[in-house]
Chain A
Amino acid sequence: MELSGEYVGCDGEPQRLRVSCEASGDADPLQSLSAGVVRMKELVAEFFGTLVEQDAQGLAEDPDDALDGDDEDDAEDENNSGRTNSDGPSAKRPKPAS
């Protein structure tokens, strides 16, 4: 006798939780199953606790993406500054000709 649980995340990969509920000797099988339920509850708490933490970390990483966006903006600013530098010489060129 086995009490089993299976989790399927967004990636579609299944993860299994198993608890054995073998009755020893003259023990009542239903009582063994009850003990298995308690054990399964502990496993579920541990499993989803970790999962929730990972999800929270994933959300926390989103601001980093925003920072990466800011870095891109800085790069664009550098490009713009380069353009202004290029405009300088073009403005200076007419002066020597005159």
Chain B
Amino acid sequence: MQNPVEGLDGRAGLEEGEDSQLRPQAPDAQASSQNSATEGDHGNVPQSCPQDSGRPAAPGTLATPGSQAAPGSPSPGSTVGSGAAAEEAAVIPHSEQATLVPGPSGDAASTGNRSLEFSVTVPFRTAVEADMARRSLVANAHPQQVMVQQEFTANDSILAVRWTTDDPFLFRISINTFLDQLSLVMRNIQRLEFVAVVKRGRGRSRES
């Protein structure tokens, strides 16, 4: 009884061998899937029969397509990577364009910059008056120093003021403001003199 069973097993093995030979010839996906199925079958058969263990070459040959499939999967990955690289390459020019755009405008802005100066000299009667005016005007000039640079100098009885900026419009605003403040300072000086005269008059009247 054992002999008939062995005979049947032998035939089954031969059929499987033929299938395995045919399947490698077909490189289609179906063949690959069948190969994987066959690999499973071969894995089971050797465990049951020692003769099947004598056919490990077939699993070896079938294993080769599997190994080929493994590199097949990375190849799409590599293509995906190349696609990503292409996207990165595509993105880089945009970033470069973005970086390039302000460059010329920045250069244009730098070439457009020019330094302008305006100075005024005010002759007071005494050095004291000139110094009083300078102190008052400097205190009021702080808020304006952001866009327009101002320099106040008192030399004896002469007050000199100099502005430096790149925009003529700011020049006009700053100088007009200065002249308005200068007028106020002069009025204050006149009032101080008037008060001083009055006090002197009162002192003399008391003495008499």
Contacts and interface: CB of A to CB of B under 8 A. Distances in A.
Contacts of A10: 114-116
Nearest to A9: B116
B186 A33 contact: yes
A31 B191 CA distance: 11
Interface residues of A, number: 28
Contacts of A78: none
Q: Which of B114, B183, B189 has the most chain A CB atoms closer than 10 A to its own CB?
A: B183
A55 B168 contact: yes
A5 B120 contact: yes
Chain B: interface size category: 20 to 34
Contacts of A7: 116-118
Interface string A9-33: 1100000000001000000111101
Interface of B: 114-125, 129, 168-169, 171-172, 175-176, 179-180, 182-183, 186-187, 189-190, 193
Interface of A: 1-10, 21, 28-31, 33-34, 37-38, 40-41, 44-45, 48-49, 51-52, 55
Given A33-B123, A33-B124, 4 more contacts: A6-B118, A8-B117, A30-B189, A33-B186
